[in-house]
A and B are shown apart, each in its own frame.
Chain A
Amino acid sequence: GQQLNQSPQSMFIQEGEDVSMNCTSSSIFNTWLWYKQDPGEGPVLLIALYKAGELTSNGRLTAQFGITRKDSFLNISASIPSDVGIYFCAGQLSGGGADGLTFGKGTHLIIQP
């Protein structure tokens, strides 16, 4: 099946630092979404992107839909302890016929005291 390559797999950062993670694919996507998941809970939608080149912010989070439609990145500014969790990128493949989202394997964000 289609794969989304998400990197890095994990990040160890200090509180207050900025964070950047990205997602790439060999396939073209119509939509990119970013989710955060806490242990034992379902993913929570953070940002949805619909157009190539689109840059969208949600508080301290900023995400962009890549121009090639094959990648996306998420930035978190001035990280705080509650940012800890697993961040997933997800996409809706171009070409129709598949309404389920394809997810990456996640970036595990750990904030060191």
Chain B
Amino acid sequence: DTGVSQDPRHKITKRGQNVTFRCDPISEHNRLYWYRQTLGQGPEFLTYFQNEAQLEKSRLLSDRFSAERPKGSFSTLEIQRTEQGDSAMYLCASSFSGTANEQYFGPGTRLTVT
């Protein structure tokens, strides 16, 4: 298995545009997490899925953000009407529910909103 993959690795967009990121977890992992990381900070939890069910959302996940995992495999994170404050690294992680806290991260998508 090649680990967690994310696409794209970098995205530059203009303020007000919508963007969508994709995450492919480790194949046998049933949990998938999204985090956001800004410069000089640790990752901050946004939301997570167990299979296709979205079980938890952080207060950081404003109504402009939406995440899906329709078939319990890959996930997408969409940000609508992007703002400059959305500029960050968006990280995806996956785990097996039996060892849920051992989360394995992808390389991230670096978003820059101009």
Which residues on A are within 8 Å of B, measured CB to CB? 4, 6, 30-31, 33, 35, 40-45, 48, 50, 88, 90, 92, 98-106
The residue that A102 contacts in the complex, of B45, B102, B103, B105, with Cβ under 8 A, is: B45
Which of under 10, 10 to 19, 20 to 34, or 35 or more describes the interface residues of B? 20 to 34
| Complex Cα spacing A31 to B91, Å | 21
Given contacts A48-B102, A88-B42, 14 further A-B contacts (CB under 8 A): A6-B42, A40-B108, A42-B91, A44-B105, A45-B102, A99-B48, A99-B55, A99-B100, A100-B33, A100-B45, A102-B45, A103-B43, A106-B40, A106-B41
Instruction: Out of B4, B31, B101, name the residue touching A42 (CB < 8 Å).
Output: B4
B64-104 vs A: 1/0 string, CB under 8 Å?
Answer: 00000000000000000000000000010100000111111
Contact between B102 and A33, CB atoms less than 8 A apart: yes
